[in-house]
Structure 1
Amino acid sequence: MTPSASERAVLVEELRRRGPDAPTLCAGWTARDLAAHLVVRERRPDAALGLVVPPLAGHGERVRDAVAARPYEVLVDLVASGPPRLSPFALPGVETAVNTGEHFVHAEDVRRAGDAPAEPRALPADVRRALWGGLRGRARLLYRRSPVGVVLETPEGRVVARRAPEGAGTVVLRGDVGEVLLHSFGREAVARVEVEGAPEDVRALAGLDRAV
C-alpha cells in the first residue's frame, strides 16, 4: 500500500466513524462538507479549479454543495475508491507527492476537531518520507509572503522555507514532520511544534494566512 493509500484509509475510517455532522478543523465545514470537497477535488476538475482561481470559486462552491447533498455513505465510498483512472490525481507520482499530504492533513482535520481531539499518530516510515518530500517541495510556496524568515526542522531534515527579508529575523519551526506540516498548512492551534524566534518575529509569522 502506498503512503497516500494508507493515509486515505485512515481518513475514510475517521469519516465513517465520526459521521456526517462531526466537526472538522476546516472553518465552517462538517465531515460531510470535507468529504464533498475531496470528491469534487478528484472527480470534478472544472469545479476544483475554484480552489485556486478566484473567479471560479462560485462555480466550485455550487458543485460542492450539490455533491454534499448526496447520501453521506455514498460520498465516503467515493473518497475510499480514489480518483478515476483518467484523473490527474491517479498518476503515481502525483498520488505520492500531493495526495499523501492532502489525506494526512484532512484525516487530522477530523481526528483533532471537537471537544476531545485525538493525540498525534505514530506515522510509518514511508508516510513520514512522503510527507517530508511534499513539505520540502512546497515550503517556499507556503511561506512566500512571510514577513520574516522561516526554517522548518524535522527528524527528516531541515529546509529554509523563506530567507529573512532585510531587517527581519527568522523563526524556526521544529517538530515531527506531520506536526510541522500541519502548522505550515494553517493548523497552528493543534500542531505540536516548537516555535523559536524573537517574540516580534513569532507574532508576525502568526499573522500570516496560509490555510490550505
Structure 2
Amino acid sequence: MTFAQDERAALVDTLRSVGPEAPTLCAGWTAKDLLAHLVVRERRPDTAPGIMIPAFAGHTEKVRAGAAAGSWDTMLEQLAGGPPLYSPLKVVDRWANLAEMFVHHEDVLRGAARPDQTWTPRELSAELQEALIAPAKSMSKMTLKGSPARVTLRTRDARDLVTVGTGPEVIVIGHPGELLLFAFGRAPVDVVFDGDDQAVAAVRAAKRGL
C-alpha cells in the first residue's frame, strides 16, 4: 500500500462514518459534494481543465453537481476503488493523489471546526509526514507566490522547506502535514507564526489555495 492508498482508505472510512450531509472545510460543500468532486476528478478527465482554469470551471461544476445528485454508496465504492484504468491519474496515483486524499480527508475531519479555533491534529506517522514534504513544497510555490510577505515554511524540527514571496519575513512553523494544509489555505491548522505582527496578520489574512 502507498501513502496515497492509505489516505484514500482512511478518507472513505471517515466519509462512511460522518455521512453525506456532514460539513467540510470546502466552502458550501457537504461531504457528498466533496465526494462527488473526488469521483469526477478521477473518472471524468474532461473536467480537469476547470479545476485550474476559470473559463472551464462551469463545465466542471456542472458535472460535479450532477454526480452529487447520485448515489452516496456508489460514489463511496468508486472512490475506494481508485482511479479507473482509463484515468490519467491511474499511473501517477502515489504522487498525484497523496496530497489530494490527505487534504480532503482533513477537510472532512475538521469540517465542523471554526477557522479561528485551536485544532489538535490526528497523529501521523513520521514516514507519512516525510512523504507530505514534497507536495507542501510544490503547492506552496503556487499558492504563496502572491503573499504579502516573504514566507518560509519550517518544520517543527527546524528544517526550512521553501521560501516564497517578497517583503518582510514571516516564518510558518508546523509539521509537514499542517504546512501543506496551510499552503492550501485551510483553517483551522496547527501552525505558529514568527515575524513582524503586521506582516503575520497580512499573511494569515491573505487568500491561499488554487
Same fold (TM over 0.5): yes
Aligned to 1:122: 123
Bigger CA drift: 153-162 or 54-63?
153-162
Aligned to 2:160: 158
User: 1:184 and 1:12 mapped to 2: Cα distance?
Assistant: 24
Q: Count how many residue pairs are aligned between Structure 1 and Structure 2.
A: 206
- Look up the match of 1:190: 188
Q: How does 1:108-187 map to 2 (within 5 A)?
A: 108-114=106-112, 119-154=120-155, 155=157, 157-163=159-165, 165=166, 168-187=167-186
Report how far residue 208 of structure 1 moved.
2.0
Q: Aligned with 2:151: secondary structure?
A: strand
Structure 2: stretches of 5+ with no match in the other structure: none
> Contact between 2:139 and 2:183, CA under 8 Å: does it hold in 1?
no
Contact 1:100 1:127 in 2 (8 A): no
Alpha-carbon deviation of 1:132?
0.6
Q: 1:31 & 1:108 partners in 2: Cα distance? A: 11
Determine the structure 2 residue equivalent to 1:207: 205
> Cα 1:134–1:68, aligned 2, differ >3 Å: closer, same or farther?
same
Q: What TM-score does the superposition give when structure 2 sets the normalisation length?
A: 0.91
- State the Cα RMSD in Å: 1.9
For 2:58 and 2:138, locate their aligned partners in 1 and report how far apart those are by CA, in whole Å: 29
Q: Secondary structure at the match of 2:24?
A: coil
Distance, in Å, in 1 between the alignment partners of 2:44 and 2:99 is 20
Structure 1 residue 48: Cα displacement:
2.6
Partner SS, residue 189 of structure 2: coil
Deviation at 1:126, TM superposition (A): 3.0
Structure 2 counterpart of 1:33? 33
Looking at structure 2, the residues matched to 69 and 195 of structure 1 have their Cα atoms a distance apart, in angstroms, of 41
Task: Give the Cα separation in 2 of the matches to 1:16 and 1:142.
Answer: 31
- Pair 1:79-2:79 in alignment: yes
The question of whether the paired residues in 1 share the 8 Å contact of 2:83 and 2:89 is answered with yes
Deviations 1:13-51 (A, max 9, x none): 111110000000100000000000001111111113211
- Please give the alpha-carbon distance, in whole angstroms, between the structure 2 residues aligned to 1:99 and 1:83: 10
SS in structure 1 of the partner of residue 153 of structure 2 = strand
Aligned 8 A contact 2:153 2:161 in 1? yes
Contact 2:152–2:170 (CA under 8 A) maintained in structure 1: yes
Quote the Cα distance in structure 2 between the aligned partners of 1:51 and 1:146: 21
2:36–2:68: 8 Å Cα contact kept in structure 1?
A: yes
Deviation for aligned residue 1:73: 0.6
Which residue type is aligned with residue 36 of structure 2? A
